[in-house]
Amino acid sequence: MSGAQYARLVPKKYRSRTLPKVDRPWRPRVIAWAGPAAFYPNRFYEIDKWYKARIDKPEKLPKMHIIDPADHMKSLNELLAKPELEQINIGFKKQESTSKSHKSEEDRVELERKSRHMQLRIDIDSLEVQNLAVFRHFQVFDHLFGENVFFENVQNLEINFGDDAVHSGNILTASTTSSRPEVSIEGVGKPGFNTLLMVNLDGNAFEKQGELVQWLVSNIPDGEGVKSGEEVVEYLQPLPFYGTGYHRVAFVLFRHQEKIALDFNGSSLENRIQQISQFYKAHENQLTPSAIRFFQTSYDNSVKTALHSLGLKSPLYEYEYTPALKPDQREFPEKPQPFDLYLDMYRDPKEVEAEVLEKRLAEVGLEDVQEPKWVDPDYVENKKTLPPWLHSKMLERKGVGHAKYHNELK
């Protein structure tokens, strides 16, 4: 721009002492130091902002599991599909029900209309509720007798702990099972005997393989109660230890023509451990399973009482979680974050818990400590002005940041 043009366009009182100059736009210079790695020969990858800043390129993906190259082209349905194996029935053949009535097409249309209008009434007592899909879902047959093995419920078996009945996987408290159940076995009208086995599929806490036998009564005459049989193993309530979750407890009824002698030592908890598959294989010529029921139970105070009565201590189990995936610690992390949180991520968790515990104990020792009515009245202002680590320290006592450990210790 010439001087004449500048004087004509800009009034005198707004004129500058020197003529304006047109300069190139300001470009910030990136100054960063990544240590000796900046001068390594292998830093020559595609030219981008990380290369210009002379910082090692961050790892975008964590360490992944190895995938079989032969399966990476298969679809999800192909990977989930399992080969259908032939199921082996080790029990009696199921009798077909003769009470089924054949309905005409007009009756089916009428039933469908009532169902849509919520007017259909069903007699629950006349329904067949024995469905083996529940037992297969909980892998009861697999863990009792092996894979691809099942048997049908051909004999009615009713088990009641007081007012609570055992069905197909219902949940009962451990205190409910503290005493022996009331068992009713259907008689088939033929000479023979029954053997009732109560086994905990998840109660083995020892190194030897097998399941925990809770109760075993053999040689029960047909049409009579459990009291008429021989109690081979005394009743012991299920013992789901603390931290082991729900245990599956199954009742299996066997049918046999003649009396059978079972050599079973149930004097101690460890002696009750027995592999049911081997037990059945040893007596498969005499025993045939005819009915099964099972329930689930978990820990309560009655388990500790039962263990103390046996002269045993009550063990405590904790689940070991897989450690969370985290990238390798770097001098310049890819994602900016407060330095205290970033460093705590790589500290020993026990060290962090010990530090929080010391703070908690120091606060408990003070007598005149009063909790503030508000967590942080100036939260918005402090969030803008204070450093993140200092602001998080202010909020620790009220459930923010590491204060979650405080709440666990209260």
Task: Give pLDDT tens digits for 276-294.
Answer: 999 999 998 999 999 999 9
352 in the same domain as 255? no
Q: Is the pLDDT of residue 410 over 50?
A: no
89-117 pLDDT, tens digit each: 888 887 766 555 677 888 889 989 988 98
Query: For residue 178, what are its two tokens?
Result: 């503290």
Mean pLDDT, range 169-175, rounded to an integer: 92
In whole numbers, what is the pLDDT of the chain averaged over residues? 80
270 in the same domain as 365? no
Phi-psi region at 64: left, alpha or beta (left = phi > 0; alpha = psi -120 to 50): beta
Question: Which distant-in-sequence residues (6+ apart) come within 8 Å of 274 by Cβ?
Answer: 210, 211, 213, 264
Q: What is the CATH number of the domain that holds 276?
A: 3.90.280.10
Mean pLDDT, range 394-408, rounded to an integer: 54
272 in the same domain as 138? yes
260 in the same domain as 186? yes
170 in the same domain as 241? yes
Lowest mean pLDDT of 234-238, 252-256, 332-336, name the range: 332-336
The better pLDDT of the pair 214, 322 is held by 214
In a domain, 79, yes or no: no
In a domain, 162, yes or no: yes
Instruction: Please give the single-letter amino acid code of residue 61.
Output: L
CA-nearest of 254, 320, 309, 307 to 282 is: 254
In a domain, 119, yes or no: no
pLDDT of residue 406: 42
Q: What is the DSSP code string of 113-124?
A: HHHHTT-----G
Residue 384's domain spans which residues?
Answer: 339-409
Bridge partners (DSSP) listed for residue 157: 185
Percent of the chain with pLDDT over 70: 74
Query: For residue 172, what are its two tokens?
Result: 């009962």
In a domain, 373, yes or no: yes
What does residue 157 show for φ and ψ, rounded to 5 degrees? -135, 120
143, with CB counted inside 10 A (0-12, 13-18, 19+), is: middle
128, with CB counted inside 10 A (0-12, 13-18, 19+), is: exposed
CA-nearest of 150, 295, 138, 272 to 214 is: 272
Q: Which of 270, 287, 309 is the last residue of a domain?
A: 309
296 in the same domain as 367? no
- The DSSP H or E segment spanning 306 is helix 301-309
Unique residue bearing structure tokens 């008429």: 228
209 in the same domain as 155? yes
Q: Is the pLDDT of residue 173 over 70?
A: yes
376 in the same domain as 293? no
368 in the same domain as 257? no
In a domain, 326, yes or no: no
In a domain, 298, yes or no: yes
In a domain, 293, yes or no: yes
282 in the same domain as 144? yes
Domain count, the chain: 2
In a domain, 327, yes or no: no
263 in the same domain as 360? no
Q: What is the 3-state secondary structure (H, E, C) of 159-214?
A: EEECCEECCEEEECCCHHHCCCCEEEECCCCCCCEEEEEEEECCCCCCCCCCEEEE
Question: Which distant-in-sequence residues (6+ apart) come within 8 Å of 225 by Cβ?
Answer: 183, 184, 185
**CA–CA separation, 261 vs 378, rounded Å?**
80
Q: Is the pLDDT of residue 47 over 50?
A: no
349 in the same domain as 283? no
